[in-house]
Amino acid sequence: MMIVPAVIVGGGAIVWRLTEPPSARAALVTIVEFSDAGVRQGAVQRLQVVRSDADWRAQLTSQQFWSARRGTTDTPFTGTFYQSHETGIYRCVCCGNALFSSADKYDSGTGWPAYSAPMAAENVWTRNDASFLMQRIEVLCRLCDAHLGHVFDDGPPPSNLRYCINESALRFV
């Protein structure tokens, strides 16, 4: 995967993946399924969703593609989810995996949707992210490897976590 710094902003480089990641083989992963009403259905094994860039581009808007498939970040305070208080669940825009519940959503004041925990730890995974000349923890969808956002340790008790998630990576149900 080719990662290229694009812009220097406030001493940090805005970095995104410009080329299609190498073709991955679909691995068997365990996720927890939820109904659209948020009822836990149980753990299941599924093959990861692996598609070409052309297929992702056909399915997603340009913003969704660049955010979820290339790791860019939505502009804060431009969406609607960060200020929404509707009851429901947030699914991955790419594969429909249940990611976050409105019950765990809170106003972090950052302009991005924030959650204290995922609906099920099995449904996301994390990795180190050294972009912007800082160390962060990237959050990805377990089922399709979509970039969701980052997790920080400045959230509310009891988890003290803030899952700062891009609206364009989510679909509200």
Helical spans, DSSP H, in 122-173: none
Instruction: Give alpha helix (H) positions in 17-169.
Output: 53-59, 62-64
Task: Please tell me the number of Cα atoms within 13 Å of 163 on its side-chain side.
Answer: 26
Provide the 10 A C-beta neighbour count for residue 125: 15
- Which residue in 92, 141, 144, 164 is the catalytic one? 164
Catalytic residue list contains 164: yes
Three-class SS of residue 18?
coil
Contact 166, 112 (CB under 8 A): yes
For residue 64 the two structure tokens come to 């969704």
Catalytic center residues: 164
